[in-house]
Structure formats: C-alpha cells, structure tokens
C-alpha cells in the first residue's frame, strides 16, 4: 500500500454529527469532506436522529457516490446527563462511509 | 437473480419487523425467539422506526443478554408504493443479533 505524502486528515476530522437540520445538509457535508480529500467519513447520530444518519448514508451512496461503500456500522448506548441531573441512556450509531 | 434455497427459509423465521409498538414489545419478541431456540434474530425496520430497532438491539444486549453480539448491521433503500400510486424511497436497517 503506497501512499503519497499528502497531508492525511486525521480520522477525527472526518466525523459528521447528524442533528436536526434537513438530511441534505448532512449529505452535502459528507460530499464536501470527500471532495476535500477524506478517504472515509463517519456519520454519528443519537436517538431519533439515527434514521437521519441512515438516510444520509443511503442518499450519498445511491445518488452521489455510487462507488463508495458502507465500510462499518456500529451501534452503542451512550449515557447523557439531562438538565435536571438525571442520567438518560440513548442509542447511537456510527456509519463509516469509504470512498 | 439466482438464490440458493438452503439459507433463506431458516432466516425468515427469526425476523422481527419493528413497528410502532413500544420498544419493549420488540425486546420481548427478540428474547422469546432466542428462548425458543433461535441462534440469531434479525430486527428489520424502516424510516423513523430505524431508531426503535437500534434501541431494541441495545436493550437486549445491555439488559437481558450480555453475551449476545451484534453480528451484522445492513442498511439499504427500499421503494414503497404509496396509496396514491407514487413511489417513495425509504431507508431500512437489518440488525442481526447472535446468541
């Protein structure tokens, strides 16, 4: 595996946190990351927004980057402290898309 | 499209379609499948219900079956014909839990 010495963005920089904006915002953010030279992009989302992350990955793959692949999907449980101090568990997903 | 007939039928028996019932219904359905001898259970969900499928898998793993593992997670796009005849695309997830 030979690679040129172009600056390799660290993995952390390629994380996109999926929130409450329209899905296409995250699609655009993902495409932009790839256009900026990222080899992979990780979409992270929690709770109800998990479906938006899946939508984002599917739209990127089906409509914009037919050659990319879903390299990995992880699910986990995260603990969040809410404003009143109580501890809430919430499911989370991490979808790794590879160029 | 050729498909072997050996693998499919068995898998189908262990599929749980995640819908709009409370999450614990699907947790219970999953545990029941395992108690009935299933080696693996596949949770399937579409659209907004994807997060419920992830919640189900996480609750099964964290609270009831600490030794089970998430063997596979697939995402895809399905086409649905709505009542007025128009074609809608919807994301879907399949989570395979193994005993």
Give the integer Cα–Cα distance in Å for B85 and A10. Answer: 47
The mean-pLDDT minimum among A1-15, A21-35, A43-57, B6-20 falls in A1-15
Give the integer Cα–Cα distance in Å for A39 and B40. Answer: 34
Q: Is A75 on the interface with B (CB under 8 A)?
A: yes
Residue B19 has pLDDT above 90, yes or no: yes
Q: Is B95 on the interface with A (CB under 8 A)?
A: yes
**Mean predicted lDDT score pLDDT of chain A:** 90
Of B57, B62, B75, the CB nearest to A58: B75
Average pLDDT over residues B86-90: 91
| Domain spans of chain B, in order of start | 15-98
> Which CATH number describes the domain made up of A15-98?
3.30.110.20
**Mean predicted lDDT score pLDDT of chain B:** 89
CA distance B69 to chain A (A): 11
Residue B11 has pLDDT above 90, yes or no: no
Residue in A82, A56, A80 with CA at minimum distance from that of residue A70: A56
pLDDT number for residue A85: 87
């Amino acid at each position: 595996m030979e690679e040129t010495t172009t600056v390799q963005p660290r993995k952390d920089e390629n994380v996109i946190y999926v929130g409450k904006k329209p899905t296409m915002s995250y699609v655009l953010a993902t495409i932009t990351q790839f256009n900026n030279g990222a080899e992979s992009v990780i979409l992270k989302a929690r709770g109800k927004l998990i479906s938006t992350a899946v939508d984002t990955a599917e739209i990127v793959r089906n409509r914009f980057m037919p050659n990319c692949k879903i390299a990995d999907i992880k699910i986990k449980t995260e603990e969040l402290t809410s404003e009143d101090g109580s501890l809430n568990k919430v499911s989370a997903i991490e979808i790794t898309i590879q160029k």
